Amino acid sequence: MGDVVVIGAGVTGIQAALDLANHGILVHLVEREPSIGGHMAQLDKTFPTNDCSMCILSPKMMEVYRHPRIQIHTCADVTGIEGEVGNFTVKVRKSPRFIDEGLCNGCGDCIQICPVEVYNRFDAGVGTRKAIYKPHQQVVPDIVIKDPDHCIECGLCYDVCSRDAIKKEDTETEIELRASSVIITTGYRVFDATKKEQYHYLAFPDVVTSLEFERMMNASGPTGGKIRRLSNGETPKSIVFIQCVGSRDTQIDRPYCSGVCCMAAIKNAMLIREKYPDTDVSILYMDIRAYGKGYEEYYERAKSAGVHFLRGMPGEIIGNKKAMTIRVEDTETGEIKIIRPELVILSVGMEPSPGTGVIAEKFGIPVEPTGFFKSLHDATDTVATLKPGIYIAGTSTAPRDIPDCVAHGGAAAMRAFQDAIREGSE
């Protein structure tokens, strides 16, 4: 039987890898970040069940780690591919981690002692990390990474590490993987909200993105789950969500709906009302898209929980770093409403992960005008591509929620499985 390479270890890639490995196929799971998990590891709760995101994902991450038929390659990127279905050679470049992966036991002593503190990309702007670090507490594999751009070579971590696991020098390495087929699950990134200048993201501290808010709500995140105004550290008494920031907007070339933002806003609005019943929460929207199983009922629950839904999109946020005003027409009544929120959450849309175009070129597969990978057929075959043996799944193909990603990852795995057993029988 042939092996399969899965590129991208978010929930989609993890599901595909597990399904294949549980059917006897050896899987190489290639992830460019230091840990597997993708965006789902950043979320607090997940709609529509309000399960804790990591409580669902973490056991799957551990299953991948322990699985005898899955080899994880972190800090790794694909640089090239040759061959055809049944017989691909995939070139993978591994960036230096400056850690001996076989020696580090993840004890964290080096993190404690490191004096350098920098912005943590995993916390999406809200938290910090050290120069030697784990992006979050539940990383898989459970080892650290040293960031040479911020390390001041003070030497403290080398002294404290009892296992001599930290390397002063490290270099890029290249490996070649043989595979009967490849599944690409490289996911998404969120829209850069600074492109909507009228909302003053990064200029006004109390304007945050929905992903930053997920980190703020997370009990193991940088604020310990407490909602705080970044301007003064106080609990906001009035919170406004603005929907479709970077979605359904032809002026900025984002004509498509990002699918998950309505439900994510409803989820977080409800969670705010549970945690802070005295905080007023409004969602400003064009249309609420609650299309999945149980989603309409979820929306109704939010209304019962006292979340205000106002159909209308504000032109801008007026004010300064301390006080903000939103003027918006309620398009259902024609009334002009004035709101003075203490925290604004921009529900940012999804766009293709950086590097999607480069991968498409290397693999010889097309992308949509939106930049997401193009499926062979949008109605009847959403995981195959024009190239036999190269499959795509999850949010690398279009905005999708987690239930969809899991199903899609499984569907791609089944197709790769067929190639793998065909290879074995020939």
> If binding is defined by CB under 6 A, does position 271 make contact with ligand FAD?
no
Of 2, 4, 5, 13, the one binding ligand FAD (CB under 6 A) is 13
- CA distances in angstroms from 245 to 172, 248, 286, 310, listed in the order given: 38, 8, 11, 16
Give the C-alpha separation, 397 to 406, whole Å.
Answer: 13
- With CB under 5 to 8 Å by kind, the binding choice for 1 among ligand SF4, ligand FAD, none is none
Query: What's the CA angle centered on 250, arms 249 and 256, to 5 degrees?
Result: 60
> If binding is defined by CB under 6 A, does position 166 make contact with ligand SF4?
yes
Give the C-alpha separation, 414 to 102, whole Å.
Answer: 33
> If binding is defined by CB under 6 A, does position 96 make contact with ligand SF4?
no
Q: Going by DSSP bridges, is the β-strand pair 343-348/145-146 parallel, antiparallel, or unpaired?
A: unpaired
- CA distances in angstroms from 258 to 59, 77, 102, 374, listed in the order given: 28, 26, 41, 16
The least distance separating ligand SF4 from the CB of residue 141, rounded to whole angstroms, comes to 11
> If binding is defined by CB under 6 A, does position 54 make contact with ligand FAD?
no
Q: 45-84 mask for ligand SF4 (x: CB under 6 A)? A: ----------------------------------------
Q: Where are the beta strands (DSSP E) in 217-368?
A: 238-245, 280-285, 308-311, 317-319, 324-330, 335-339, 343-348, 350-352
Of 4, 18, 27, 33, the one binding ligand FAD (CB under 6 A) is 33
Identity of the amino acid at 185: T
Taking the CB of residue 172, how many other CB atoms lie within 10 A of it? Answer: 10
Whether the link from the prior residue into 369 is cis, omega within 30° of 0, is no
> If binding is defined by CB under 6 A, does position 104 make contact with ligand FAD?
no
> If binding is defined by CB under 6 A, does position 184 make contact with ligand SF4?
no
Comparing CB distances to ligand SF4, the nearer of 56 and 151 is: 151
Give the C-alpha separation, 226 to 224, whole Å.
Answer: 6
- CA distances in angstroms from 60 to 10, 16, 24, 37, 250, listed in the order given: 11, 11, 17, 9, 38
> If binding is defined by CB under 6 A, does position 206 make contact with ligand FAD?
no
| Tokens 């239930």 -> residue | 403
User: Restricting to residues 346-375, which ones interact with ligand FAD according to CB under 6 A?
Assistant: 353, 355, 359
> If binding is defined by CB under 6 A, does position 139 make contact with ligand SF4?
no
Comparing CB distances to ligand FAD, the nearer of 349 and 389 is: 349
The least distance separating ligand FAD from the CB of residue 75, rounded to whole angstroms, comes to 9
Residues constituting the chain: 426
In eight-state DSSP terms, residue 309 is: E
Q: What are the residue ranges of helices labelled H in 190-231?
A: 210-217
| Tokens 């409004």 -> residue | 282
Q: 144-163 mask for ligand SF4 (x: CB under 6 A)? A: x-x----xxxxxxx--xx-x
> If binding is defined by CB under 6 A, does position 114 make contact with ligand SF4?
yes
Determine the interface stretch with ligand FAD among 43-51, 175-183, 283-291, 373-381 (rule: CB under 6 A): 43-51
> If binding is defined by CB under 6 A, does position 241 make contact with ligand FAD?
no
Rounded to 10 degrees, what is the CA torsion of 294, 300, 303, 305?
Answer: -60
Determine the interface stretch with ligand SF4 among 26-34, 111-119, 238-246, 411-419 (rule: CB under 6 A): 111-119
Comparing CB distances to ligand SF4, the nearer of 151 and 313 is: 151
Give the C-alpha separation, 366 to 359, whole Å.
Answer: 10
Give the C-alpha separation, 105 to 124, whole Å.
Answer: 27
- With CB under 5 to 8 Å by kind, the binding choice for 144 among ligand SF4, ligand FAD, none is ligand SF4
> If binding is defined by CB under 6 A, does position 132 make contact with ligand SF4?
yes
| Tokens 């032109």 -> residue | 315
The least distance separating ligand FAD from the CB of residue 342, rounded to whole angstroms, comes to 20
Question: Is residue 141 a contact partner of residue 65, using CB atoms and an 8 Å limit?
Answer: yes
Q: Given the rule CB under 6 A, which residues bind ligand SF4?
A: 99, 104-110, 113-114, 116, 131-132, 144, 146, 151-157, 160-161, 163, 165-166
Interface with ligand FAD (CB under 6 A): 7-13, 30-33, 38-40, 43, 46-47, 77-78, 185-188, 190, 210-211, 214, 260, 264, 267, 353, 355, 359, 394-395, 400-403, 405
